[in-house]
A and B are shown apart, each in its own frame.
Chain A
Amino acid sequence: MRGTTRKVAVAALSAVALLAAGCGSGEEGETDTPAAEAKTGGEITVRGCNPENPLIPQNTTETCGGTVIDAVFSKLVHYEPETAAPKNDIAESIETEDNQTFTVKLKQGYKFHDGTEVKAKNFVDAWNYGAYAPNAQSSGYFMEPIEGFADLQCAGTANPEDPCEGFTPKAKEMTGLKVVDDHTFTIKTSEKVSNLPVRLGYSAFSPLPDVFFADPEAFGDKPIGSGPFKLDSWTKEQAIVLSKFADYSGEFGAKLDKINYKIYQDADAAYNDVLANNLDATDEIPTSALIDDKYKTDLPDRNAQKEEGVIQTVTFAPVNVDPLYADPKIRQAISMAIDRETIIKQIFNGTRVPATGWVSPVVDGYKADQCGEFCKFDPAKAKALLQEAGGFKGDKITLAYNADAAHKDWTEATCNSIKQALGVECAAVGVVDFATLRQQVGDRKQKGMFRTGWQMDYPSIENFLAPIYKTGASSNDGDYSNPEFDALLTEAAAQQDPAAANAKYQEAEALLAADMPSIPLWYGKATVGWSDKVTGVKITAFGTIDYSSLALK
């Protein structure tokens, strides 16, 4: 039997080797470009995926549409690809005296792809459109800090699923936004916000041209922005084609003439096309190639990996939903029972970084080791801590995950680790899909522990704390409420100096270790691969490929 195994293995390996050799020799014969300096112009084809919604910046929260939106729309602020540091783009200046009233001045002569100029009212109208609840824009909640946001929301009772049915909000425009002149407008927030300028680089804050309001539906298929690229065509399920915008006047122009997003359903197919030099870049390396770092030998000098602003956590159900996990000591014991290093090495093949706190290291204000010993694997201490808390009262610990994505392996491994360290049975429970899991969590019906992840919207420590752990916040799945924590967040928001604000946020983060509303698991890392035709591939802090620096050899 053993002899047979080896033979099969050898046969399989040599088949792969032959395949690789075949591709390699074919390419060498065709291309004779020397490894020269990057040139401007040219056309590339990269991996794309199906945007979930029409391509309207206020309605795009997922990455498939997000990468296209980022290339087509420019915002007030641009994030530096590598450091995620904000830099003014359309904004000439964003000024404030008190962190509550902001005056935004725009650059003159910035143009939309249809030739009209980007004016203050394009911002104000777009933001009001996004915030107006009956428009059902998925990133409307980003406007929440702006004064008057609540008046644009629905509170209908006719249909519990949709509060907007048979209900018209009080106002259509937020009182906090005022156009001063063509190139100036003011933003007034309902509470003090220290990092508003950082937030304004998120796609939800893009300006929309006047034509949008005439026919939003048609616009969603062929958006008109003011970014370095304009959208030529979008063939659903197949391809999105962008080309360089000739009249682009911003500072963040692109080197390429054309980007073709070829839409793939399967990461393996895209990866194989990159291997064969048929595709120029993919931002998703399939697990089969990550195992044993196979992609590094498949794509020598054509791969890169970088930390992105993503954190994976395990959240505990609110105490009134599942009292078994109420004691922070039990939560800490479970956290200490998870062998993060080994799971990352064996299940994720090193594509994650063990978390030592609740904030991603890529953002400004990150402080290491906020979770302290509770995020370090120590089975003996974990068991002692559990005994101190009186042991686990239920028959088993459960960890729910959405079964429509690749979460089965790590949840199972995490549960095995908890089981072995604590001696308590642990089961990873698959829930059909992401929407169902979120529905159960949202309705406070999901018991036990469940997986949660957070991908940053804008690079700030605040984005990892306020939306998730502030009392009553939109993504506070565990109903965490700590007055001291809330007070620190409010104080931080009022600070004029970013460093002082960050210090307050860090103080707040440190409080989480004592209460453990969620267990930090690991931070994300993006892995990309590219063909040997392109150069200058950089990964942004958001885990996407930066197409402004990408060029042909």
Chain B
Amino acid sequence: MTDAAVAEVTVAEPREGGVREEERSLASDAWRALRGNPVFWVSAVLIAVFTLMAIWPSLFTNTDPREAILAESRSRPGDGTWFGRDIQGYDIYARCIYGARASILVGVMTTAMAVAIGGGIGMISGYLGGAWDATFSRIGDIFFSIPLLLGAIIFLSSLPEFFNDNYFLVIMKVVLALAFLGWPSLARLMRSSVIQVKPNDYVQAARALGASPSRIIRSHILPNSLAPLIVVATISLGGYIAVEATLSFLGIGLQPPAISWGIDISAAIVGLRTTPHMLFFPSLFLSLAVLGFILMGDAVRDALDPKTR
């Protein structure tokens, strides 16, 4: 071990001379790799467009997604509207644009919540080990054994009516259900990553110098164990959007008047044989959004993982 350390120092010595070399931290390395990856740019554009749609839908359309012109229901794309109208006579283009908000909100909030819970618990069990680790890991296993979709169906159908009161609560109930069942995989990941980082010399050194556990975690363990969490969280964000659409399709996720791609897909299914455009457009938007996040996760993983380079 001493030998290796010495050898490293000798190699590192000349590096210190170059100013440019010193800037190459893990993050800047990753950024450099990302910049050169076309997949990253495609997914970044997709995500940017959908995020803009979610924040500011009126930028894309002036049509009210709740304005029903029943007399023109099921009209085809091009008959006065870009994407045609659905069964109720709503403008499908406007519905697709406004549907982004629910999906992005559910995706981002679920991921944030799952990362907070999973990351926190993973950190505690990884860092403290022993009884803490055993307890949290077993609790995680219990949740892990519940299939996501089945668990979410049970969870959502047993929530009180209170959650159907307004738009935010309707979204929150789906977020709660998914985060509640989604955190264990992130916790496991975080735990193993922390266990991997913990025995490193710089952590031992910090401890020897008398740093407090919170300082060790904040400045040494967290930055170095976060990479896998970020990758998996980005990929699962796309997954959560898909699960939200699935639940809404089944009629137990988001409820009207919330606008969601899943709800629209479910309403359009009867027209599969006659007016498939009603089904096609919300499905396309859903697929692109999911694809955007999954591709982004992929690109980030390639960039962060030195082994793939």
Contacts and interface: CB of A to CB of B under 8 A. Distances in A.
Given A412-B88, A416-B88, A427-B257, A291 B74 contact: yes
Nearest to B284: A1
Contacts of A343: 70
A8 B280 contact: yes
A427 B251 CA distance: 17
Contact of B251 (A2, A339, A346, A403): A403
A291 B275 CA distance: 9
B172 interface: no
Contacts of B255: 430
Interface in A408-453: 409, 412-413, 416-417, 420, 427-428, 430
Main secondary structure of the interface of B (DSSP, over half): loop
A294 B274 contact: yes
Interface stretch (B2-10, B147-155, B176-184, B265-273): B265-273
Contacts of B284: 1
Contact of B272 (A12, A292, A409, A430): A12
Contacts of A342: 70-71
B51 interface: no
Contacts of B223: none
A427 B255 CA distance: 12
Given A403-B251, A409-B88, A291 B274 contact: yes
Contacts, number: 67
A1 B280 CA distance: 11
A291 B277 contact: no
Interface in A273-324: 286-289, 291-292, 294
A405 interface: no
B273 A294 contact: yes
A136 interface: no
Contact of A412 (B256, B269, B271, B280): B256
A339 B70 contact: yes
A416 B273 contact: no
B89 interface: yes
Nearest to A288: B270
Interface string A469-488: 00000000000000000000
Contacts of A430: 255
A286 B273 CA distance: 12
A16 B267 contact: no
A159 interface: no
Interface residues of B, number: 27
Contacts of B74: 291, 346
A9 interface: yes
Contacts of A16: 273
B276 interface: yes
Interface in A322-343: 339, 342-343
Interface in A520-545: none
B270 A287 contact: yes
B73 interface: yes
Given A2-B78, A346-B73, A412-B256, A12 B87 contact: no
A345 B257 CA distance: 24
A5 interface: yes
B228 interface: no
A517 to B, nearest CB: 27
Interface string A366-396: 0000000000000000000000000000000
B87 A409 contact: yes
Contacts of A9: 276-277, 280
Given A2-B78, A8-B280, A288-B273, A347 B71 contact: no
Given A346-B87, A413-B88, A416-B68, A12 B77 contact: no
A325 B280 CA distance: 42
Contacts of B269: 288
Contacts of A12: 272-273, 276
Contacts of A420: 68
Contact of A346 (B78, B89, B281): B89
B271 A346 contact: no
A339 to B, nearest CB: 7
Contacts of B73: 346-347
A59 to B, nearest CB: 31
A417 B89 CA distance: 11
A416 B70 CA distance: 9
A500 B251 CA distance: 51
Contacts of A346: 70-71, 73-74, 87, 89
Contacts of A292: 274-275
Interface in B239-267: 251, 255-257, 267
A339 B69 CA distance: 12
Give the top 3 A-B pairs by smallest Cβ distance, nearest first.
A416-B68, A346-B73, A287-B270
18 contacts: A1-B284, A5-B77, A5-B281, A9-B277, A286-B270, A288-B269, A288-B273, A291-B273, A294-B274, A342-B71, A346-B71, A346-B73, A346-B87, A347-B73, A409-B87, A409-B267, A416-B88, A416-B89
Given A347-B70, A416-B70, 12 more contacts: A1-B284, A5-B277, A8-B276, A291-B74, A291-B274, A294-B273, A346-B71, A403-B251, A409-B88, A413-B68, A413-B88, A417-B70
